[in-house]
């Protein structure tokens, strides 16, 4: 048996690389959408054809075999990389959409829960700030109740409220008072801390 030349060894390596690339691409086709798989199939066939070369052809024309196998492998690798990148991008988009939907769902649940409790307890919140100024200037409170409700809330909450009145309120109501008073960081405070904050 004659020794193989460098060109023949290179040709055999290129043929093996084409065969491996075709196997990998065939596995990838199974996980790709139909359109992408349809585009990739001809390239896989080309790589298979380039890898099915007789030993005689490798011995006679090793450079030509190397060139065709290398070209088929490169075309297949480029297409595979493109489809894998598209697949990853689609997966990333899907994950982002899922995260957005979850966040939207949580926001809806949060916004629905306070809205359901706010109308029933909102009636309790509105008279409480109005009652504090009502003790001092009684005639002024009546007209401002309809026209300037937010303006009255701020001074009433800033004025020291008795701890007994505040302890009767729920955490949601205490947070809304803290928000109206312009306090920061109230969302993480416990009920006792909120009462302490509003009593100051």
- Could you tell me the CA-to-CA distances from 121 to 104, 116, 159 in Å, in that order? 25, 9, 21
pTM beyond 0.85, yes or no: no
d(CA 4, CA 2): 6
Q: Is the pLDDT of residue 105 over 60?
A: yes
Q: pLDDT tens across 30-40, in order?
A: 888 888 889 88
Instruction: Please answer whether residues 16 and 51 qualify as being in contact, where contact means their C-beta atoms are separated by less than 8 angstroms.
Output: yes
Q: What is the mean pLDDT of residues 147-170?
A: 60
DSSP 186: G
Most distant CA atoms of the chain, gap in Å: 117
């Amino acid at each position: 048996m004659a020794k193989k030349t460098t060109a023949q060894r290179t040709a055999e390596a290129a043929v093996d690389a084409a065969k491996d690339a075709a196997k990998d691409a065939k596995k990838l086709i199974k996980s790709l959408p139909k359109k992408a798989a349809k585009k990739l199939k001809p390239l896989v066939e080309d790589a298979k054809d380039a890898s099915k070369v007789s030993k005689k052809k490798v011995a006679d024309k090793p450079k030509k075999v190397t060139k065709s196998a290398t070209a088929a492998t490169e075309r297949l690798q480029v297409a595979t990389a493109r489809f894998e990148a598209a697949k990853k991008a689609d997966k990333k988009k899907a994950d982002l959409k899922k995260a957005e939907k979850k966040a939207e769902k949580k926001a809806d649940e949060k916004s629905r829960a306070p809205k359901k409790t706010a109308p029933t307890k909102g009636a309790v919140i509105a008279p409480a700030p109005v009652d504090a100024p009502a003790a001092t200037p009684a005639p002024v409170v009546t007209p401002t109740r309809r026209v300037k409700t937010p303006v009255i809330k701020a001074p009433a909450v800033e004025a020291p409220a008795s701890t007994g009145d505040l302890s009767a309120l729920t955490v949601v109501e205490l947070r809304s008072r803290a928000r109206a008073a312009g306090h920061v960081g109230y969302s993480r405070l416990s009920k006792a801390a909120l009462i302490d904050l509003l009593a100051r």
